[in-house]
Amino acid sequence: MIEAIHQSNLNMALRCGEQLRRRYIEGEIIPPGIAAGRGTGLHGANEVNMKQKVKTKEDLPLSDLKDAARDAFIGAFRNGIYLAKENRPAKEQILNDGLNATLRLTGLYHEEVAPEIEPIEVERPFYIEIPGVPLPLAGRMDIQRVAKVDDLKGAGKSWAEGQINQEIQPIFYCLAHEYETKVRPEFIYHILVDLKRGPKRQVQKLTPTDNHYHALIKKMQMFCRSLEAGIFLPANPSSWWCSERW
């Protein structure tokens, strides 16, 4: 049952309506893969660090952040892990490699990202109603600064230049931020990439325009109409996310 629009279920609907139907209507939940666990680990370290930094104005030691990342990574797979058939025999090695990658990226976060950010709120839930959209918008802001919204992304390869412009999350979160504060924020992705030669950080920024907001609202209206009509178009089966691996 879908009672609110999250950027995740909106993204899923645009990617594959059948996936949305199975996940949210039928309740068919597949365990997370390694990439999702890596992201959960990073967010766990960030949340522990930034929540105390709101008061202390200081970052925690790296050892504390790695402990938080490790706990969050392991916790992500409490109910299992999704692996393609050919990868299942190497499950333990894949999990170990994923944890090591998470810890490397946590070190990069501690060194390059955390010192730049003075948060005012962390993991703040929002639930807002937008005129013309039948369902409310809901989610959690990773990090809010004055007129800025920050988000962490773990990645196995570098992002293409300008990839942020293809993402829904920045517009979605900026709309919620502006609706509540009456200030148009800048959205900043801190992309932490685990490469063989060592982790690296990319930064991509976006300040939304009215056209961004109008396009997003149109997508959300179509999303609601699809739910009401019970129409869930599947993705083209040649799409990469239809492969067993993904």
Whether 94 and 44 map to the same domain: the answer is: yes
- Asked whether residue 202 is assigned to any structural domain, the reply reads yes
Interatomic CA distance for residues 160 and 125, integer angstroms: 30
Q: What pLDDT, in 10s, does the model give residues 224-243?
A: 999 999 999 999 999 988 88
> The CATH number of the domain where 216 resides is what?
3.90.320.10
CA torsion 137-225-171-36 (nearest 10°) is: 80
- Say yes or no to pLDDT of 246 above 90: no
Interatomic CA distance for residues 34 and 41, integer angstroms: 10
What is the mean predicted confidence (pLDDT) over 143-172? 93
Q: What pLDDT, in 10s, does the model give residues 184-211?
A: 999 999 999 999 889 999 999 999 999 9
Average pLDDT for the chain:
95
- Say yes or no to pLDDT of 145 above 90: no
Give the residue from 52, 34, 53, 171 showing the smallest Cα distance to 105.
Answer: 34
Interatomic CA distance for residues 205 and 39, integer angstroms: 19
The two tokens of residue 213 are: 């907001």
**DSSP-derived pairing of the beta strands 186-193 and 121-128:** unpaired
Domain extent at residue 106: 31-118
- Asked whether residue 176 is assigned to any structural domain, the reply reads yes
